[in-house]
Structure 1
């Protein structure tokens, strides 16, 4: 196996490691003698370069366990670094689990003593990987006995500062400082050499940041290692640069850097962005300098627009002076649209002007504009016409670019039965109560800081009563003198309730409450004659009152008489005969809707009649007649005669009896019903 020792020099161009080794006979199990950078032969236990005990200004550093057993000792001339022993520094002793194979560190009275154990036995190689020695810029490739070689990747650095070495015990690279807003000169901060070659024999490297970041605006080219760009912020940035060879085995080295960016930088923001047209916002410019004096100059705010398409035009918004923290605020009110705003610092005796000017794209959304609608009146129990309460425009757009609105009630409630759709703003439904209801409407738009809301709009809806109508009907009209009839009043409205008063002329004949169907019925017996009946509905909370038109109820007394004759009364079978039906109203009143019917005896066949029949069987006084006639009204003493042609068949001496009946539609108007029916008989002779 191979091992070596190194020496760390402060104040030079970097850390240099020089390694030498003496290859022993392969049969030998130990390699006890090692050379340091000065060529001194050292025993297995390493002594400080000044001899004796460690002076208080120096410290021995223990390398990593896998770093090739190399030790690093600061020169006596270096200022005392911070105690950085790889182990506890509390006066106690730390031993590794395998003291015969690993380093053992003893620390006492603020000093470190470094022990290097025997090297590993041949045939027991260390891990075959590239390991970066702590605190050093060298990479060692420690591999097994069949591939013995000790390669290194020297890394040339930029200038270092002795104070960095005194403060941290390390070299700290300081590339050339830059200026904010100005192009940074292309700078290659590391110049590596050596390392593992590629398969084609060339050597290439990859540059990366192990820790930290470059100043904003600067970038590192991972192939060339050049830092370039235009810094946008001032201040000092600390980072660690790592260079890796691309060949196999891969080797790497790292170094810490500090890069200072001078100048004055201005950033611009707004108290609200997007904002709403007509609302005041504050433009805030932050002026940052690298000097010890705060900015005392003036920040100029302007915006660039192209309103007529003729080209960008710049207009001054205003100026402001930064406070002790470098903040300059300018309150403004902008119109709707997108404004490109700039803020530039003019400089002062202690600080240069800020470059470039800070920019901000300020979005101003239109203010919400609402046109309110007039709300129509409604009627209780009837569907209210769908009405949109408002027509808004403008307002804050949604993320997808659309604009939506929300409708609500600020105060009050809608009339019972009506609802407001919060998305469409439509009032709909069926009002259930009358009266005038007042409320306030709102239209809102957007969310968060961009939420807009209209002023409350006072509105009202009047719900009127339903206009009702009342009609009268009778169970029998005309009616007989002693007949009980039912007079019914029907009210049409919105679930009407209340009472109906019936009058015969001006005389009240009864008051009846409405049922669930809106009807009221009065049972009454009236005297003979005509009666003018009216019905008055009183109304309720949802319905207006109404009066029915006068209804004429007739109470009549008639006497309808029926007579049926046959000619001849004796005929042979198959012979023809004629029936004569006579209907007379003997009065004293008109007989209404008189009907007549004929029921021929079996064997009698009706051929024709001189009056149009109904064509269907008709029931008269409870009896159904196959042949019937509607005779309409018969005035007193009026007679109607009907002639019927028929034939008769049957056995000799057979008697055939035919029946006829005539009566008013309401039989109770006929005072004598015994003469409503008439019969006649014929005989079949030999």
Structure 2
């Protein structure tokens, strides 16, 4: 604002000197008098009434004088202009909105106060004016046009005003999808957590929404999961390692503001460790008894599932190994021990392993004891006659569940006081031949005692043998024959057993 004081002389001449302007609520300014006039400029007077006093200093020719006036200051009108940058922007890209407030002529000065930004389809924000400018930053505006109104609230010296602009968010922002898995590698049956993270591609910012569909590369059904905070997680278990490493694909569906994207990862599944346990039944067993050996193969945690393949059993007795297929994780083999020599035997089951499950082995001990036996005795012929050879047969057999062919010897006693006879077993059978010299004491008890061996326990059996008298024939001869009257003739009677009888008959012959 300009102040002017005109010095009017009450005589002739032109006053010189100075004029001091005193502005109530403002500054005091002194200005020289030039051609009878003094001027000064005063800025930043507040709104209101300001009395002004101008005091002329006087000079050598003119006396001092004073003049007054009143200056009324009202609020200046303002203009608010709004701009946004960058414009247009990509979805999620931060946008800076600037409002500049200036006085309208003739107003001057720098407005202060608050600007309120009203963003259609977005937030309402406020910012203070700094040197006449207010700025805010906003992101996550949806795709499309967004009218912006900046409302300046005014201050003590400047009137409110508003300005408008329109900001455009371009088509959907690009997105990226990344996939990770843990643990990696895993084993069959182990739970694996897959995490997909979806983010806008710069300059886009914000948090992705929508869904992610996971495919696991093993032929299992896809799984769709909602994004939470831009992240989707899913758990999956691989049944085997066939086809490992698997390609895992996470497909982001996109949203109103983000374009779809796909992320991939490879997940490695390695063979799970296993344990092999061996049991047997019955234990202990006897020689020749069938024993069932069971091998159970199971994954070691965190592995899970049912191993397949084969198990090879070795029985510890030098017999040939036996390879059996696993069914439901179990393999069984039946084996009979031919001997107890070497008992207890170490039985080993070796799992072959495969792509999904690692090989392992387990062992057990099997105790084999001697088998009980039975000894049966038969004779032929029965009955027999005195002197007739009788064949006695002893058959030694294992008592079930034992099996095999006992070896060793059998000792026969015939019940007639004759010496015992020991005979070797051949194929489980021993035979002895004996002829009874008399029938006295018949029937005779015949006993066969089996000695036993390292694998079969001893046993005995008995039978009765009936001996009857043997038939005889009597032959008569004479000498001399012919004879003459009165000549002594010797008659001889010869008594002999009829076959199969044998021996020497006793007794008398009556001629």
Q: Structure 2 length normalisation: TM-score? A: 0.39
Which has the higher Rg, Structure 1 or Structure 2?
A: 2
Of the two structures, which has the highest relative contact order with CA contacts closer than 8 Å and spacing of 6 or more?
2
Q: Which has the higher strand share?
A: 2
